[in-house]
Amino acid sequence: MNVEQIKQRFGIIGNSEGLMRAIDIASQVAPTDLTVLITGESGSGKEVMPQIIHQLSSRKHNKYIAVNCGAIPEGTIDSELFGHEKGSFTGATDSRKGYFEVADGGTIFLDEVAELPLQTQVRLLRVLESGEIIRVGSSKVQKTNVRIVAATNVNIPEAIKKNKFREDLYYRLNTVPIDVPPLRARKEDIHLLFRKFASDFADKYRMPVVQLTDAAREKLINYRWPGNIRQLKNVTEQISVIEQEKEIDQETLVKYLPDISSSSLPVLYDGDKDGLSEREILYKVLFDMKKDMTDLKQVVRQIVSSEGSTSREDINDQLMESLYDDQEEYRLNPNYQIEEQGSSSESHKATAKPIERKSEAQRERTEVHPINRDSDRDDYHEIVEEEEESLSIADTEKKLIIKALEKHKGKRKYAAEDLGISERTLYRKIKEYEIDQ
């Protein structure tokens, strides 16, 4: 049977070189028992190749079973493929034959074979090597005579590098490879497929057949078709049902073609960037944060252990001075401005504009007010406020402190709350202004 007869028998539309080559290989390998691996993008029509292989083989009178490996839960796939014994797991109320037993003497098509768990891949490898299967929960070895045709839209060599697919299984499955080209590589077939689908939907819905203008046909042919034949079929059905005017121009057609270049749909990140996986990048960020915290703790310990830095106020002053003097990329100064310079795979870099250095006298006039302090904890937040200190301001401040103390009968806690400062700061001010209580 030649290629044209096969196309007619299986309803295949197209004359592209890649398609003709795939059909030719399928027809030549069909009379043998060689294992076949069919590769191609999703929706490109891979499922027709195992049917050609089965129907043109000596097994055509026996079972043909198509299994979508990606649609079966990982916990039950071994039972589905190889069967199980009664009581082998919860819910196994009876013994059951698997697909490899049912398809004995026939052909089994494993679609999306790259989705198989690694433990199931080991079982499948044994079937390919010796034709032996063992039911789940059994120790009895059974023989099966099954021709295996597998298909995938995954780059298996890349999956092998990521330890998601066994290399030995790949070479067993890939005895005869068949590559089904994507629709964008079959430009001469696109309009033929559109006409075939339009005719089928016209018969199905009892309406006139839609046709394309020259400009619309050109747009149809040059579109990328990421969903391949499946997407083309869906677009043709939508146009056939929705459009009242049966001659479709380019403007009308474009409404049914998603703009891939501007699509904002989320995508799965499955590759490495700069040699790092997504999880490794996240770990790196967390470790960098931990390192920053460790460095900050070391600075605090050094300040605490230094002479003359016994009080928390002194520690805070030295810590703020250390932060002002920090020359790292992230400087903790509330007054400095940050300008973004872009991003990298590790973190967003920032640069700071030069800031005016403070003199010793200016630092002494810097007042630190804790706003959230716990006596049993060393970590607390503070606000830095700068005050223009002069003689008149000092006098006014002294008067306010005296008035608050008199109002609350010398109780510093309530006087500090009334003044909006901490009790420790109030105590320091009392000593500074030599206020008698």
CATH code at position 224: 1.10.8.60
Q: What is the Cα–Cα distance from 437 to 432, expressed in whole angstroms?
A: 13
Q: What is the pLDDT of residue 152?
A: 96
Q: What is the pLDDT of residue 110?
A: 97
- Type of residue numbered 281: I
Q: Are residues 174 and 55 in the same domain?
A: yes
Does 265 fall in a domain? no
- Structural contact between residues 48 and 40, judged by C-beta atoms closer than 8 angstroms: no
Does 191 fall in a domain? yes
* Tokens 């937040």, residue located: 381
Does 415 fall in a domain? no
- Structural contact between residues 89 and 76, judged by C-beta atoms closer than 8 angstroms: no
Angle (CA) 210-214-219 rounded to 5° is: 90
Q: Are residues 365 and 249 in the same domain?
A: no
* End residue of a domain, out of 166, 181, 196: 181
Q: What is the Cα–Cα distance from 36 to 109, expressed in whole angstroms?
A: 10
Does 404 fall in a domain? no
DSSP 8-state assignment for residue 422: -
Q: What is the Cα–Cα distance from 21 to 178, expressed in whole angstroms?
A: 9
Residues 6+ apart with CB under 8 A from 361: none
- Structural contact between residues 117 and 77, judged by C-beta atoms closer than 8 angstroms: yes
Q: What is the pLDDT of residue 85?
A: 92
Does 107 fall in a domain? yes
Q: Which residues of the chain have pLDDT under 50?
A: 262-275, 309, 324, 326-390
- Structural contact between residues 226 and 183, judged by C-beta atoms closer than 8 angstroms: no
Q: What is the pLDDT of residue 315?
A: 57
- State the pTM of this model: 0.60
Q: What is the pLDDT of residue 264?
A: 43
Number of domains in the chain: 3
* Domain around 208: 184-254
CA dist 94 → 89, 102, 120, 396 (Å) = 10, 16, 22, 93
Q: Are residues 38 and 169 in the same domain?
A: yes
Q: Are residues 106 and 189 in the same domain?
A: no
Does 412 fall in a domain? no
Q: Are residues 53 and 129 in the same domain?
A: yes
